[in-house]
Amino acid sequence: MCGIVGYVGKKPVVDILLDGLEQLEYRGYDSSGIAIKTATSIDVYKAEGKLANLRDVLRPNADKITQSTMGIGHIRWATHGAPTVLNAHPHTCNCGNLVVVHNGIIENYKELRSELEAEGCTFRSQTDTETVSHLVASIYAEVKDLTKAVQIATKKIEGAYALCIMHNNEPEKLVVTKRNAPLLIGVGEGEFFVASDVPAIIKHTKKAIYLTDNQVATLTPNSLKIENEKEEEIEPKVEVLPWEPVALSKMGYKHFMLKEIHEQPDVIRNILVGKLHTSNSPIVLNEVKLNKETLKNLNRIQVIACGTSLHAAMIGKYIIENFCEIPVDVEASSEYIYRKTVTDEHTLVIGVSQSGETADTLTAIKQSKARGSHILIITNRPDSAMAREADSLVPVSAGIEVSVAATKSYIAQLTSFYLLALYMAEIKGTMAQSDLTNLKAEMLLLPQKIEQILAHKEEIQTCARKYANTRDFIYIARGINYPTALEGALKLKEISYINATGYPAGELKHGPIAMLDETMPVLSVLMKGSVYEKILSNSEEAKARNARMIALTNSTDAKLDDLFDFIIRVPEVTELLSPIVAMIPLQLIAYYIAEFLGKDVDQPRNLAKSVTVE
Ligand code: M6R
């Protein structure tokens, strides 16, 4: 949700900022901008839309700024004010001497704006951020010290922020600070980098300092000073980032999403290595610190997550309750944090997040931690803010996911939930040995089953083309695959903008059935097992209302041919593992529909990969 970068050193800054922003484009792509310190002034360049537009704006100005060695940059996901050039960051004060880039939300911006307007400041944008530039500039006019001005200003600001600020009168200085938003400082030789996330700096340095809330850092090419809230200097803790620079490539695929869908067999193989050797060996989860005693003392598990991770959590509930006999609640983090939530030291709280930075989930985790719960984090980013809060960690190891629509991280989260549930069941002794062995054996076969589906993707493409020109789409399922229906619908909504909804199949007759007619596609997730016959009946009910029926099934039952207009077949799989197999065709349907409609598959409108505002 917005990305910020900064650099102070000896190298030309423009490319460093643009490369950094390119790595952060997953955080938003509504607009972008940079501010460059020149010999006499600070020059600001901005553009609406994707970063490529900013590069176009900069081209004619290249000669003016190529020698500059200090600057800040921003990529925006709009919260306050439309995605226009005027609302793009960096924001300046009236004299143009101070510039600010910001990630987060200034909650008391209206009050601050009124006060600053009364003092004579003229606002040009509708953003909350512009209050920060005027506020810091007005304090600076009195104290004549940028660090001090930021320290005073941040005491007046309410909300979440990562800020990077420079002033024309302090030619070799960046001041950065944060509260409830990610920010790290890259440490180089005679240079410092600032970024919302590691990919923006890893090409330049592996040494970094994660700023903690309310610290203010002052950076010059050869010095770094970090002060805490009481303005006491503290010793910086420099960490070595466990990252290698990776050149992100589509490897010949048209979109990152398609490439990431194809990576899923290997993602599962990678996760299982070292954790599940054979069907007879116990599950190994080295960073999970739950033993027989802690599990015995648990009376419930609470899983919190957002979006796709929430759907993985819903399946997690199903399997943990089934394997481990512990009651599990699942809740959207954004709901969890604004009510009286009852958790204590007898509750295991599991946070699920691809990015490990989602603001709502992070807040929920911190609340539960303060109440004494054991915090277990399932994340694709073991270096994230959530991972740093964890008592136990399950890294999902999906690799970098570029496409905003989550695919391989979802399959990785599901795989991790199976491992975790089996791990706890083994400790608690709640599963028969034969069931454990059979399930593990089937898990080891999952990569091949996904490969079989991918080998027949043309059939799914045909299905997608047939139904692409529809306004609405309904997905139905029951039991363990109800979240599969929700996730299938979310994928389609996100990248094609078709109004898609997932329903428990049994709920159709309680209202949604009123929408059905000959224009409405209804996709039934019809996997063999405990609810197969029930979904079949619900599909008959939909067929009787003339809906356009599609089946996603592992059944070869001949009677399906009369009921469904299109049948997508997947390999045989036990019901308990079917959500992994069933999801692959649904990802492909969403992908091929969006691609057929000419949508921006990897960067759908209005979205960002990492949502760091509540
Ligand atoms: O990084 P997280 O898993 O915490 O992100 C949660 C959601 O924002 C995310 O899953 C979102 O729904 C994706 N766009 C799904 O494709």
Which one from 2, 121, 164, 463 is the annotated catalytic residue?
2
Q: Count of CB atoms within 10 A of residue 41's CB? A: 11
pLDDT at 438 over 70: yes
Mutate to test the pocket of ligand 1, among 26, 77, 354 (most ligand atoms within 8 A of CB): 354
| Cα–ligand 1 centroid distance for 61 (angstroms) | 38
- Note the Cα 544 to chain centre separation in Å: 40
User: All domains of the chain, ordered by start, with CATH?
Assistant: 3-247 (3.60.20.10), 249-451 (3.40.50.10490), 458-596 (3.40.50.10490)
CA 436/CA 428 separation, integer angstroms: 13
pLDDT at 383 over 70: yes
CA 314/CA 326 separation, integer angstroms: 14
pTM: 0.87
Which one from 178, 317, 493, 609 is the annotated catalytic residue?
609
Residue linked to tokens 């030789």 = 189
> Does 306 qualify as catalytic in the annotation?
no
Mutate to test the pocket of ligand 1, among 309, 404, 414 (most ligand atoms within 8 A of CB): 309
| Cα–ligand 1 centroid distance for 410 (angstroms) | 9
pLDDT at 609 over 90: no
Tokens at 102, concatenated: 């910001």
DSSP string, 520-566: -EEEEEE-SSTTHHHHHHHHHHHHTTT-EEEEEES---TTHHHH-SE
| Cα–ligand 1 centroid distance for 304 (angstroms) | 12
pLDDT at 386 over 70: yes
Q: What value, to the nearest 5°, has the Cα angle with vertex 537 and ends 534 and 539?
A: 110
Q: Residues 181, 118: contact at Cβ < 8 Å?
A: no
| Cα–ligand 1 centroid distance for 457 (angstroms) | 25
Mutate to test the pocket of ligand 1, among 77, 197, 355, 600 (most ligand atoms within 8 A of CB): 355
605 vs 64, higher pLDDT = 605
Residue-wise pLDDT for 232-281, tens only, equals 999 999 999 877 777 678 889 999 999 999 999 999 999 999 999 999 99
| Cα–ligand 1 centroid distance for 332 (angstroms) | 11
Share of the chain above pLDDT 70, in %: 100
Residue-wise pLDDT for 535-592, tens only, equals 999 999 999 999 999 999 999 999 899 999 999 999 999 999 999 999 999 999 999 9
- Residue 608 has a pLDDT of 82
Residue-wise pLDDT for 118-159, tens only, equals 999 999 999 999 999 999 999 999 999 999 999 999 999 999
CA 308/CA 263 separation, integer angstroms: 18
Residue-wise pLDDT for 202-237, tens only, equals 999 999 999 999 999 999 999 999 999 999 999 999
Nearest-atom index, ligand 1, CA of 607: 14
| Cα–ligand 1 centroid distance for 305 (angstroms) | 9
Nearest-atom index, ligand 1, CA of 610: 1
pLDDT grade for 12, boundaries at 50, 70 and 90: very high
Tell me the average pLDDT across 281-295.
93
Residue linked to tokens 């045989």 = 572
H or E stretch at 220: strand 216-220
| Cα–ligand 1 centroid distance for 553 (angstroms) | 27
Mutate to test the pocket of ligand 1, among 261, 304, 358, 365 (most ligand atoms within 8 A of CB): 358
Tokens at 24, concatenated: 């952060």
pLDDT at 499 over 90: yes
Q: What are the helix and strand counts (H, E) for the chain?
A: 20, 25
Residue at 183: amino acid letter: L
By C-alpha distance, which of 318, 342, 409, 328 is closest to 376? 328
Instruction: Output DSSP code: residue 283.
Output: P
> Does 178 qualify as catalytic in the annotation?
no
Q: Is the peptide bond before 90 cis (omega within 30 degrees of 0)?
A: yes
Mean pLDDT of the chain: 95
H or E stretch at 19: helix 13-23
By C-alpha distance, which of 328, 274, 316 is closest to 421? 316
- Residue 247 has a pLDDT of 65
Which residue is closest in CA terms to ligand 1's atom 8? 307
Strand partners, 374: 348
Share of the chain above pLDDT 90, in %: 89
- Residue 391 has a pLDDT of 97
Spell out the SS3 assignment of 101-170: EEEEEECCHHHHHHHHHHCCCCCCCCCCCHHHHHHHHHHHHHHCCHHHHHHHHHHHCCEEEEEEEEECCC
Residue linked to tokens 């229906």 = 485
> Which residues have C-beta atoms less than 6 Å from ligand 1?
306-309, 353-355, 358, 361, 404-406, 494, 607, 610-611
